[in-house]
Amino acid sequence: MIDIDLIVEDDGWDALGNLEALSQRAFDAGRSVERADGTVSLLLTDDAVLQQLNKDFRGIDKVTDVLSFPALPMDRPLLGDIAVGYGISTRDAAAQGKTLADHLTHLLVHGYLHLLGHDHMQPDEAEIMEALEIAALASLGIANPYESD
């Protein structure tokens, strides 16, 4: 089971309704393809915070939609932290013709897989990670996010 420590810093996220339930559904889908138990600290915030986190931790001074920070094994049961920016997520969802709820679900599955050590920097890693994301999202009836219409 995934326990969620949810912090909502941008009121825009409230339009999605029960964020705890939406997040739990996303993490349960992630667990359906790669099982882990523990706590995820989830920050739903704004673009400025995501840009600052990206700059501070990755040396990249631009906004991004999701960041994941895996915990060390000694920090278990904490799996790690995930932060998602509202503005960029909303813009990306609209540009991709998706609902914000489905896009956030994808970002949370993506972040969860990062917490478990998956990455997409190399083509073979990306193929594995994307296949897991596609399967997790399909379990919820959400279309393949990597397939263009």
The pairing of strands 38-45 and 78-85 is parallel
Cis upstream peptide for 77 (omega within 30°): yes
Cross-strand pairs, 2: 38
d(CA 86, CA 134): 22
C-alpha dihedral over 16, 140, 37, 70, to 10 degrees? -70
Q: Of 116, 121, 148, which Cα lies nearest the Cα of 136?
A: 116
Q: Is 114 annotated as a binding residue?
A: yes
d(CA 75, CA 78): 6
- 106 among the known binding-site residues? no
Binding residues for Zn(2+): 110, 114, 120
